[in-house]
Amino acid sequence: MALRNKIAPICVILLSCVLGLAETDASSEREEAMAELNALFVDILPWLAQTYDPVSGGFYESIGLKEGKEPKAYGPDIQSTFFAIIILDNAGLVDTMPPEVKEKMIGYFHSRQDPETGYFIDPDFPDMWENQRVLGRALSFSIGSLRILGSEPLYPLPGQPRPKTTAKTPSAPASKAQPAAPAASSSNTGKTTAPKPTAPKPTAPKANNVYIVPTEAEVSQIDLSRVPPHLVSVEAFRQWLDDRPWHFSWTALDNLSSQKQLIKGLPPQLRDPLIDEAMRYVGERQEPDTGLIGGGNPEVRISGAFKFVRFCVDTGRPVPRAEEMRDSLIAWFKSEPEIDKIFFIRNACDMMNDLSKQTGQQVTDEQLVEITRFSTKQLKHFRQDDGAFLSRTSGSYVNPNDLYLGSKAIPAKAGFQSEMNGTSNAHRVWKTIYWIAGQERPDMTMEDFWEVVARQDFDNTPEPVAAESNTYIVP
* pLDDT tens profile 120-159: 999 999 999 999 999 999 999 999 999 999 999 999 999 8
Instruction: Give me the CATH topology for the region 34-453.
Output: Glycosyltransferase (1.50.10)
Looking at the predicted structure, is the pLDDT value of residue 359 above 90? Answer: yes
* Cα end-to-end distance, the chain, whole Å: 80
In this prediction, residue 8 carries a pLDDT of 63
Residue 312, pLDDT score? 97
- Angle at the Cα of 426 (from 422 to 428), degrees rounded to 5? 115
Q: Is the pLDDT of residue 4 over 50?
A: yes
Residue with the bigger pLDDT between 18 and 450: it is 450
Domain coordinates in residue numbering, the chain: 34-453
CA atoms within 13 A on the CB side of 119: 30
| Average pLDDT, rounded, for the chain | 83
What's the pLDDT score for residue 71?
A: 84
CA 52 to chain centre: 19
Alpha carbon 328 to its chain's center: 23
Q: For a pLDDT cut of 70, what percent of the chain falls above it?
A: 78
CA 189 to chain centroid, in Å, comes to 18
pLDDT bin (cut points 50, 70, 90) of residue 27 is: confident
More confident residue, 76 or 466: 76
The Cα 59–Cα 87 span in angstroms is 12
| Mean pLDDT of the 259-282 span | 94
Element (DSSP H or E) covering residue 398: strand 397-398
